[in-house]
Structure 1
């Protein structure tokens, strides 16, 4: 049974957090984030609720609101919110007709929302490869759906990364290397395999590469700290005059060198350990330019994260941009994220 939410005495914005249901029909998403946002908003005289597409009606929405004093969620019926924060966790759910229809409805009603979509890795490459400032920081990339083109790309670089264009957190990534004797070495996070020829590799992987829209990316020889590669994890948010850096962390590989992600064995290091003025300048620049480019191409981005690195020759590179940033392991960055999001909620709703 729903509780009717009245907003007559509301001094701050009503924020709708859009998520989706998983295969079991349960509401999915980052529950800790939703709770912390609600706690912070209440202190600012705002309030939030979470909802899925199936709760949207013509004039109201059925959703769920968190009540901190009872540490519980209650089903509620609310009017359309002042802003929608898109946290749909599944690409398929976001791309279906009902989601796209709802986004169109928000535009018709002049209800601000962010972020507009997940980012396809190859679309990102196409967007940034000709960017006047960012193009020098983008690794060479091709689609991995053509045998001869992929073979030539590997011969040219001798070592490449293969990535699903719509994956996250390092899932499905592997490195392909051309040995001196013409053999092909495949190295994944938990396995490796040697192929006598590129033809044999292609025979086994063709279906996977094409069905999952893999792309091939030149391998950047990374700078090392204590003998192991490291990447920058950068969190950014929009503000009135552009985009600002909310926090930066370092992720370092340990047992394997394919990826630095924590779920695949990466180690967390404080940014201050490796911080330089040059790093700071690059991070400030890449946040400003990437945020502007994304918003011009896809729609308003209120937040995003960037995985970036530095090569042994000292060049900076952008590896990935994520429109639905996962939680950072650094508590201080998470706290700033909550504050920045709430500030943005108030700014966009003009409260």
Structure 2
């Protein structure tokens, strides 16, 4: 079925005489028009379920302070290109633009390689790609999600994950907890005891990503403490002198302390797995695995912090494959059980000198993968999931 959008009067229409056509989750009536007049109209071939055309996928982004849209534009354009080829349509919108019966948003036209503004009915499904925690926690966004729930519009992913909330959820599942390094939420007394127990710790903000704000704390003999930032190292004579300087920040920004895992080295360098996963609506599957390598003593393997990308095939073996497949299903099921349905997530994981696998983080809104084949597979899997969830086969 072909639907067209008139950019002049901002209306959808069809050209099937005597046909009843609806569009969107709320099945708005689409009027008949005799013909399509270029260049004010853009036409799309969509699948249909009874009289309803679709699927219509809403990608939820956010506005910057200057009113511009914030989000992963290249990913959104790739999704639109793929979903049009499959017989669907996607658009970008924000919580501010969501109305009771639809939303105003942006539509990507692959043939023109440009975005146009358009009005839409309620989408059949919403893919949450709000890039800022502050935006996601705003009153407008909370109201928007409640509105989607009231109209029974399914959406994923439900939101950013607090790192300590993730750990707290993981330790309730015996199968999952073995992969998580021991972790506490920082306060003065418990943190001091935790440091005395483990000697070497990573300190991470509960609400951050891309390796931002990560520190390392090491006992280096007698009572001396080495505190490592990204580009700086400081030695303190005892725990109290360290806490006097850094305690207020660690408490204010809500930091966790995580036992340091001594990593397995390949050619004298540590490496971590960055695993991308998607639901196929029944279980979770591995979409792709990237490997990030760093010098042995480097703080993180994130590319922004000096890490290096190497092909998974250089380190791949059957044990790695088994772990990755196992942790993807365990993590996906845990996330959806504890936080709401996750159709997509990524995992940062590693392996210790003893051969034990560990999960360092799970990311609810994965950033772009530098490996083109993984990004391509990502778009393919996302679009397949959109069609499965909405029932447009």
Q: TM-score range by the shorter chain?
A: over 0.9
| Contact 1:222/1:310, CA 8 A, preserved across alignment | yes
Is 2:363 the partner of 1:322?
Answer: yes
Residues 50-109 of structure 1: CA distance to partner in whole angstroms, max 9, x if unpaired?
011111112121101111122111111111111100000011111122212221221221
- Name the residue aligned to 1:10: 46
**1:1-351 matches, cutoff 5 A:** 3-6=10-13, 7=23, 8=30, 10-11=46-47, 12-144=54-186, 146-254=187-295, 257-351=298-392
3-state SS of 2:385 partner: helix
| Contact 2:100/2:147, CA 8 A, preserved across alignment | no
Return 182-191 or 251-260, whichever deviates more. Answer: 251-260
TM-score by length of 2: 0.87
CA distance in 1, matches of 2:295, 2:321: 25
Q: Greater relative contact order (Cα 8 A, min sep 6): structure 1 or 2?
A: 1
| Contact 1:249/1:271, CA 8 A, preserved across alignment | yes
3-state SS of 1:253 partner: strand
Using the TM superposition, give the Cα deviation of residue 240 of structure 1 relative to its aligned residue in structure 2, in angstroms: 2.9
| TM-aligned CA distance change 1:315 to 1:256, over 3 Å | closer
3-state SS of 2:70 partner: coil
Using the TM superposition, give the Cα deviation of residue 255 of structure 1 relative to its aligned residue in structure 2, in angstroms: 8.4
Q: CA RMSD in A?
A: 1.4
| Contact 1:249/1:270, CA 8 A, preserved across alignment | yes
Return 62-71 or 331-340, whichever deviates more. Answer: 62-71
TM-score by length of 1: 0.97
Larger Rg over CA atoms:
2
Using the TM superposition, give the Cα deviation of residue 2 of structure 1 relative to its aligned residue in structure 2, in angstroms: 7.7
| TM-aligned CA distance change 1:184 to 1:44, over 3 Å | same
Using the TM superposition, give the Cα deviation of residue 184 of structure 1 relative to its aligned residue in structure 2, in angstroms: 1.1
| TM-aligned CA distance change 1:66 to 1:148, over 3 Å | same
